[in-house]
Amino acid sequence: MNAKRAQEIAASPVMANVTYNGERIYIEQVDEQNGTALIHPLHAPNNKQRVAVSSLQEH
């Protein structure tokens, strides 16, 4: 995924099916300049991590 698409998903009110390492995640915010996203697994909202947007998969 690229940073622009990740930003579109983060800003959308519609929940997109996005995974990180095979796990469904929610994108909280995107840093387009650095190509990273702050994410958390759907089942663990307190388990936040910053990852490269290129490692995210949209299904």
CB–CB of 59/15 below 8 Å?
Answer: no
Kindly report the pTM of this predicted structure.
0.93
| Predicted local confidence at residue 30, as pLDDT | 98
Average pLDDT over the chain, rounded to an integer: 97
Tokens coding 8: 């579109």
CB–CB of 21/38 below 8 Å?
Answer: no
Tokens coding 35: 């190509």
Tokens coding 43: 């089942």
Residue 57's pLDDT band, with cuts at 50, 70 and 90, is: very high
Q: Where are the beta strands (DSSP E) in the chain?
A: 18-20, 23-31, 36-41, 49-52, 56-58
